[in-house]
C-alpha cells in the first residue's frame, strides 16, 4: 500500500515565512509530489501528525481537504490493483486536480505567477532563470494592468498575445530573441497552470519561440596581440585625443586590469561568471609540471541538475604570466562586475585602435536594420570566449575536445566555432594572397 504523506515545504529559513503543503508518495521508484493549494507558516503546521494546527484559520476545513486528497490516492491505488494496472503519475495528478478545478480559473493571474515563481525556486532553478521568469512576469502583469484588465487564464487567444507583443515593442526596441525568450517563459508558465488545475481556452495562443542566430564576433591572433600591446602611454595619448569631459573615463589601473582579464579569457575561454569567482584553489598541476584550471561552470550549476560538469583548461605561458602578476589576491584576477567590465573593455578597445567599421543588424520596432558601427562598440566579455573557441578550431583542436574545454553539454553548441573558424581561415587566405 502507498504511504501517503503531507509535507510543508518552506522557501527560506525565516520561521515566519509561509510554506506550501505538498502531498507526497512513492511509486514506480519515483517521488510523486502534488501541491495541495494550501499554505501555512511553520507554527501552523504539525509535522508529526501531518496536519494543520488549531491556530490555522479554517484548520478543520483544511484538514478535510487533506483527508479527501489522501482518499483519492488510496481509491486510485485500489482501482489499479483490481484492474491489474500500474499506477500512473499523470492519471493520479488529474484525479487530484479534479478536487480543485472549480475555483482555479477565478484565481488572479498575478497570484498564479506568484505560485509559479515559488514553485520554480523550490525546484532549485538557477538564479538567472528565476530572474528571467520574474522579468517576464513583470512585463505580463504590466500589460494586464494597463491594456487587458479583464484577462484570465482561459481568455488568451493569439489576438491577445499579439497585443502583448505590440505593447512590449511600444516600450522599447527589444531584440526578437528577447521576445522569443518571453514566448518560452510564458509557455512554461501556462504549462504550470494547467498542471495545477487551470483550464486554458480551446483557442489559446500558440506560443512559438523565434530565434535569430546572432552574428558572432571574435578577435584574430593578430588582433589579440594588438589588444595586449595597449599600455599606459598609448592610453594617455588616446585620452589626450578626446574632446569634451573626461570625468566618466576610469584611471589606467582599472583599464590595465580589464585588458589583462579579457586577454586571459581569450586564452582560456572562461565566461565572466566563472572568471569573476575563481581562486587559487581552482589551480591544478598536471603531469610534467604544467598548470591548469579545474572548476564547475556556474552556468551549469543548479539544485535541479543531478550531476555537474567539471572543466579542466590548460594554462599557456601568457596566461600564467597574468596570474603571476595578480598573485596573492582574494581571487585569481581582479575583475569588476559585468556592466562595468564590458564598458571598460570597449574603452580599452577604442584606445587600442579597434576603430574600423563593422556591419551589425539592429531591430527597430521589430524590423531588422543594417548599420555601421566602430568595432570597439561590438567587443564585450563574451567575445573573448568566442575568440578562444575560434582560434582553438583553427589550431586543430578536435570539436569534441573543445566541447569539454568550454563546458558545453551539446557538441552542436560548439559547432558554431567551425563556421567562425572558416571565416578566420578565409581572412588568413586573403592576407596570404594579398600581394599576388
Phi, psi angle pair for 137, to nearest 5°: -60, -45
Nearest CA to 40 out of 28, 30, 25, 55 is that of 55
Plot region of 353 (φ>0 → left; ψ -120 to 50 → alpha; else → beta):
left
- Provide the residue-wise pLDDT of the chain in tens; the chain has 436 residues: 789 999 998 766 666 678 999 999 988 788 899 999 899 988 899 999 999 999 999 999 999 999 999 989 998 888 888 777 888 888 898 888 874 444 455 678 888 898 899 888 888 788 888 999 999 999 999 999 888 888 888 788 888 998 998 899 888 878 888 889 999 999 999 999 888 878 887 788 888 877 777 778 889 999 999 999 999 999 999 999 887 767 788 999 999 999 999 999 999 999 999 999 999 999 999 888 899 999 988 776 654 555 567 899 999 999 999 999 999 888 999 999 999 999 999 999 999 999 999 888 887 776 778 889 999 999 999 999 999 999 998 888 898 999 999 888 888 888 888 877 777 777 676 666 765 5
Cα(207)–Cα(212) distance, rounded to whole angstroms? 16
Cα(227)–Cα(319) distance, rounded to whole angstroms? 14
The pLDDT assigned to 230 comes to: 97
119 in Cβ contact with 147 (< 8 Å): no
CATH 2.120.10 fits 109-195, yes or no: no
Label the pairing between strands 45-46 and 51-52. antiparallel
0.85 surpassed by pTM: no
- Domain parsing of the chain, residue ranges: 5-99, 109-195, 221-432
73 in Cβ contact with 4 (< 8 Å): yes
- Domain covering 221-432: architecture: Orthogonal Bundle (1.10)
E-assigned strands of 5-146? 5-9, 18-27, 30-41, 45-46, 51-52
The pLDDT assigned to 101 comes to: 42
DSSP conformation letters of 242-261: --S--TTSPPHHHHHHHHHH
Amino acid at each position: 500500500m502507498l504511504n501517503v504523506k503531507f509535507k510543508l515545504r518552506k522557501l527560506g529559513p525565516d520561521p515566519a515565512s509561509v510554506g506550501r503543503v505538498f502531498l507526497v508518495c512513492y511509486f514506480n521508484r519515483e517521488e510523486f509530489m502534488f501541491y495541495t493549494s494550501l499554505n501555512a507558516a511553520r507554527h501552523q503546521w504539525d509535522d508529526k501528525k501531518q496536519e494543520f494546527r488549531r491556530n490555522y484559520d479554517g484548520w478543520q476545513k483544511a484538514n478535510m481537504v487533506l483527508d479527501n486528497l489522501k482518499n483519492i490516492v488510496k481509491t486510485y491505488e485500489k482501482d489499479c490493483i483490481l484492474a491489474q494496472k500500474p499506477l500512473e503519475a499523470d492519471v493520479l495528478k488529474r484525479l487530484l486536480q479534479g478536487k480543485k478545478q472549480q475555483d482555479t480559473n477565478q484565481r488572479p493571474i498575478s497570484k498564479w505567477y506568484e505560485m509559479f515563481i515559488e514553485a520554480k525556486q523550490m525546484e532549485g532553478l538557477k538564479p538567472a532563470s528565476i530572474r528571467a521568469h520574474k522579468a517576464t512576469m513583470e512585463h505580463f502583469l504590466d500589460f494586464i494592468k494597463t491594456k487587458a484588465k479583464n484577462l484570465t487564464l482561459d481568455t488568451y487567444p493569439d489576438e491577445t498575445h499579439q497585443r502583448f507583443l505590440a505593447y512590449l515593442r511600444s516600450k522599447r526596441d527589444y531584440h526578437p530573441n528577447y521576445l522569443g525568450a518571453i514566448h518560452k517563459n510564458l509557455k512554461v508558465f501556462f504549462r504550470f497552470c494547467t498542471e495545477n488545475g487551470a483550464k486554458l481556452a480551446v483557442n489559446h495562443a500558440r506560443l512559438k519561440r523565434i530565434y535569430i542566430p546572432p552574428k558572432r564576433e571574435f578577435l584574430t591572433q593578430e588582433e589579440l596581440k594588438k589588444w595586449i600591446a595597449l599600455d599606459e602611454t598609448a592610453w594617455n595619448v588616446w585620452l589626450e585625443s578626446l574632446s569634451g569631459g573626461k570625468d566618466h573615463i576610469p584611471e589606467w589601473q582599472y583599464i590595465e586590469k580589464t585588458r589583462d582579464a579579457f586577454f586571459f579569457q581569450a586564452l582560456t575561454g572562461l565566461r565572466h561568471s566563472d572568471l569573476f569567482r575563481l581562486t587559487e584553489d581552482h589551480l591544478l598541476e598536471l603531469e610534467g609540471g604544467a598548470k591548469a584550471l579545474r572548476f564547475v561552470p556556474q552556468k551549469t550549476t543548479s539544485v535541479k541538475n543531478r550531476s555537474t560538469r567539471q572543466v579542466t583548461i590548460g594554462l599557456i605561458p601568457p596566461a600564467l604570466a597574468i596570474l603571476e602578476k595578480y598573485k596573492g589576491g582574494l581571487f585569481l584576477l581582479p575583475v569588476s562586475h559585468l556592466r562595468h567590465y564590458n564598458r571598460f573593455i570597449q574603452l580599452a578597445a577604442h584606445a587600442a585602435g579597434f576603430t574600423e567599421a563593422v556591419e551589425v543588424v539592429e531591430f527597430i520596432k521589430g524590423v531588422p536594420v543594417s548599420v555601421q558601427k566602430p568595432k570597439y562598440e561590438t567587443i564585450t566579455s563574451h567575445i573573448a570566449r568566442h575568440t578562444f573557441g575560434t582560434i582553438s578550431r583553427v589550431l586543430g583542436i578536435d570539436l569534441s575536445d573543445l566541447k569539454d574545454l568550454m563546458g558545453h553539454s551539446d557538441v552542436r553548441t560548439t559547432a558554431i566555432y567551425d563556421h567562425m573558424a572558416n571565416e578566420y581561415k578565409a581572412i588568413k587566405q586573403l592576407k596570404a594572397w594579398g600581394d599576388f
